[in-house]
Structure 1
Amino acid sequence: MDKEKRTIYVDADSCPVKEEVLLLAAQYKVPTTFVSSYAHQLTLPAFVEQVTVDTDKEAVDLYVMNQVKKGDICVTQDHALASLLLAKGTLVLSPKGYLFKEETIQQLLDFRFLSQKERRMGGRTKGPKAFTKKDRQFFLENLEKIIKK
């Protein structure tokens, strides 16, 4: 895919790297769309398309799924959305800079399922590790590599 025709989609409701996406999108002039529910009002620069959807649990995911094309980039921490986007040929990057891959997504989904099952049975599971400056820098570096390809 021609990198000039790529779009960056951001699952923006709880995305901690909005500023980094905006920085690189502006620097490389990449069309960018932030998708969030109307419960999360965002203030974005004019060059960014902002899409506001209903607060339904999967509304952002459904919008992104229906819009992305092969070769587009999506920033999300949702493993289920990532697995669906990978099948469409989308490059999917977590806010911590992890590039989701077909070879490893099933393991992530299995772990998520087992954790949910444990919580439903009254058990406790560890949450995600705290977001760090190192995570932010790793994300920035990896998103820039993807954009440059």
Structure 2
Amino acid sequence: MKILVDADACPVKHIIEKVAKEMNIPVIMIIDTSHILHSDYSEIITVSKAPDAVDIALINRTDKGDIVVTQDYGVATMALGKKAYAIHHSGRVYTDDNIDLLLFERYISKKQRQAGIRTGNIRKRTKDSDENFEQSFRKLCLSHHNE
């Protein structure tokens, strides 16, 4: 098992590394060339800025039983299709039971934005957001660490 991170805009990289180090789980963080990232623990892979380059690189490296950290529902869907686990930065674990509804909601929001309708505000991350992610992420790692 390894952890793969869509790291371009990931606000929880430090939490991922902390938990992964404790459990001795390898981490791969994938970014595009417009970002710079250094780590003493994770393998950093830099790909081109081409559309979806990070997503494709991440999914190509994903195997059954891996954990993928992403806010992209499409990437989460592909991870689930490969029998990997996927978690959002909020701590929501993507599952076969919730991904269809999430994709549908994304589609509806996109249509509303195209029609000029505001679809909501993005909330600022808080300490509670980080704690919620860490709790969910730790649970996910523990439950699948020895598979």
Q: Do they fold alike, i.e. is TM over 0.5?
A: yes
1:126 aligned partner, one-letter code: G
Q: Which residue does 1:27 correspond to in 2?
A: 22
Identity percentage of aligned residues: 32
Q: Which of 103, 106, 112 is the aligned partner of 1:118?
A: 112
1:28 aligned partner, one-letter code: M
Secondary structure (helix, strand or coil) at the match of 1:10 reads strand
TM-score, normalised by the number of residues in structure 1: 0.91
Q: Which residue does 2:134 correspond to in 1?
A: 140
- Runs of 4+ in structure 1 off by over 3 angstroms are none
The alignment's C-alpha RMSD in Å is: 1.1
Q: Which residue does 1:131 correspond to in 2?
A: 125
2:9 aligned partner, one-letter code: S
1:76 aligned partner, one-letter code: T
Superimposed CA distance per residue, residues 123-148 of structure 1 (whole angstroms, 9 cap, x where no aligned partner): 22114332221121111112111222
Superimposed CA distance per residue, residues 7-35 of structure 1 (whole angstroms, 9 cap, x where no aligned partner): 00010000000100111111111110000
5+ residue gaps, structure 2, are none
Tell me the distance in 1 between the aligned counterparts of 2:123 and 2:95. Answer: 21
Alignment of 1:1-149 (within 5 A): 6-45=1-40, 47-149=41-143
TM-score, normalised by the number of residues in structure 2: 0.92
Figure out how many residues of one structure are paired with residues of the other and give that number: 143
5+ residue gaps, structure 1, are 1-5
Aligned-pair CA distance for 1:121: 1.9
Secondary structure (helix, strand or coil) at the match of 1:124 reads coil
Secondary structure (helix, strand or coil) at the match of 1:52 reads strand
